[in-house]
C-alpha cells in the first residue's frame, strides 16, 4: 500500500515537472513574440488595426496607402510608413492629445496582414527573377538574395553588383556593392541589406 502511494507520488511529480516545463516554454514563446515584431517597420499595403482602449467607435483596420499614410478616425491621414508599431502608437497618441481629442489615450497598433514583399535579381546569376521575403521581414541580406537566385555565374562581376532602389517619391538611388568582398570576409566588408522593391543586377565580368 505504501509503495503504491510512493509510486503515485512519483507519477504526480513527473506530471508536474512536465506541466511546469511546458508552461515555461509557452512563456518563452510568448515573450519572444513581441521581440520578433518590435523591430518591424510598417510598409506600404500593410493592413493595420488601430484601437483606442475604451473607444470602440475608433477601432479600425486600414491599409497603408501609397503615400505611407493611414486614415485614423477623428485625425485623418497619419504618416506611419517606416515606423515601428511602438512608434506608430506613439505618433497617433501624440496627435490625439495635441488635437485635444483624448486626454490619455491607450493606442494599440497591430499588423493584421503583411503586404507581399519581393526583390528582383537579374544578370549573371543562376536563376533570374523575383524572390519573396518572409511576410514580417523588413529586408533581406544581399548574399541571401544572390544565393536564392542560384549564385553567381562563372563570368559574374561579383565585386560591382548594382542595386537600384526607389524612395517614397519615386526617385531612384543606385548602390554598387562588393559582394565578393563580403563572401571572402576580406577587409571587414559591411553587410548590405536589401529592401522590398529593390532590383539587383549582377553585371558580366570583362576579361
10-residue stretch averages of pLDDT, the chain, 207 residues long = 42 39 36 51 92 90 92 94 94 95 93 92 95 85 94 94 85 92 76 92 89
Cα-based distances in Å from 155 to 16, 148, 186, 203:
62, 18, 21, 9
Provide the pLDDT for residue 25.
Answer: 34
Q: What's the confidence (pLDDT) of residue 38?
A: 67
Q: Are 76 and 70 in contact (CB under 8 A)?
A: no
Q: Given this model, what pLDDT does residue 183 score?
A: 86
Q: What is the pLDDT of residue 177?
A: 93
The rounded distance, in Å, linking the Cα atoms of 62 and 60 is 6
Residue 206 confidence (pLDDT) = 83
Sheet containing 118-123: order of strands = 129-132, 118-123, 199-202, 161-166, 172-177
Are the beta carbons of 194 and 140 closer than 8 angstroms? yes
Condensed to tens digits (0 to 9), the pLDDT of residues 189-207 reads 678 999 999 999 999 988 7
pLDDT for position 18: 36
Grid coordinates belonging to 192: 548590405
- Residue of 81, 74, 61, 163 whose CA lies nearest to 121: 163
pTM: 0.64
Amino acid at each position: 500500500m505504501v509503495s503504491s502511494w510512493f509510486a503515485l507520488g512519483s507519477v504526480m511529480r513527473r506530471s508536474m515537472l512536465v506541466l511546469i516545463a511546458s508552461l515555461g516554454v509557452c512563456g518563452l514563446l510568448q515573450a519572444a513574440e513581441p521581440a520578433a515584431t518590435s523591430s518591424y517597420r510598417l510598409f506600404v499595403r500593410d493592413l493595420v488595426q488601430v484601437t483606442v482602449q475604451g473607444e470602440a467607435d475608433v477601432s479600425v483596420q486600414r491599409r497603408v496607402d501609397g503615400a505611407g499614410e493611414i486614415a485614423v478616425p477623428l485625425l485623418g491621414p497619419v504618416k506611419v510608413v517606416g515606423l515601428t508599431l511602438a512608434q506608430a502608437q506613439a505618433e497617433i497618441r501624440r496627435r490625439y492629445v495635441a488635437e485635444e481629442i483624448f486626454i490619455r489615450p491607450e493606442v494599440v497598433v497591430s499588423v493584421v496582414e503583411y503586404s507581399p514583399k519581393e526583390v528582383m535579381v537579374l544578370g549573371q546569376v543562376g536563376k533570374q527573377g523575383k524572390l519573396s521575403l518572409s511576410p514580417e521581414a523588413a529586408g533581406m541580406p544581399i548574399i541571401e538574395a544572390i544565393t536564392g537566385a542560384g549564385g553567381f555565374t562563372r563570368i559574374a562581376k561579383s565585386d560591382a553588383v548594382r542595386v537600384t532602389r526607389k524612395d517614397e517619391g519615386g526617385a531612384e538611388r543606385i548602390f554598387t556593392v562588393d559582394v565578393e568582398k563580403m563572401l571572402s570576409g576580406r577587409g571587414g566588408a559591411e553587410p548590405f541589406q536589401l529592401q522590398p522593391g529593390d532590383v539587383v543586377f549582377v553585371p558580366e565580368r570583362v576579361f
